[in-house]
Amino acid sequence: MLFNSTRSLCIETHKNIQKYATLTNCLHKEMFPDISYFKYIKSLEICLDKDLSEKLLKDIIGLDLTKPNIDLMTRKLEIQFNALSEINTKYSLLLMEV
């Protein structure tokens, strides 16, 4: 299921970025313009607790969703999965160099 795959990838990405930021002592340095590693790591934690939580999945499963709603949710998860995949790949490679 795409939801669980995205959640797992988010957890892995969180771990890799946190490990990289800790090993390179850059938690408070910029990861993106105006976004520190610390802030990005916290945003992943919020995403996991809110947008990719087990509770949310159970709530969604219990809803009577229309096909357009399901398609929209699927597209959003695909976008999130692809973005996480790109970032995770980058930090997995960076960790090999540390």
pLDDT tens string 60-85: 999 999 999 999 999 999 999 999 99
Q: Which residues in the chain show pLDDT less than 50?
A: none
Residue 98 domain flag: no
Give the pLDDT score at 1.
Answer: 85
Question: What does the DSSP 8-state code read for residue 24?
Answer: T
Residue 25 domain flag: yes
Residue 96 domain flag: no
Residue with tokens 């995770």: 88
Give the pLDDT score at 93.
Answer: 97
Tell me how long the chain is: 98
Question: What does the DSSP 8-state code read for residue 27?
Answer: T
Count of domains observed in the chain = 1
Residue 16 domain flag: yes
- What residues contact residue 49 under an 8 Å CB cut-off, 6+ apart? none
What's the CA gap between 18 and 80, in Å, rounded?
Answer: 19
Q: In 3-state terms, what secondary structure has residue 70?
A: helix
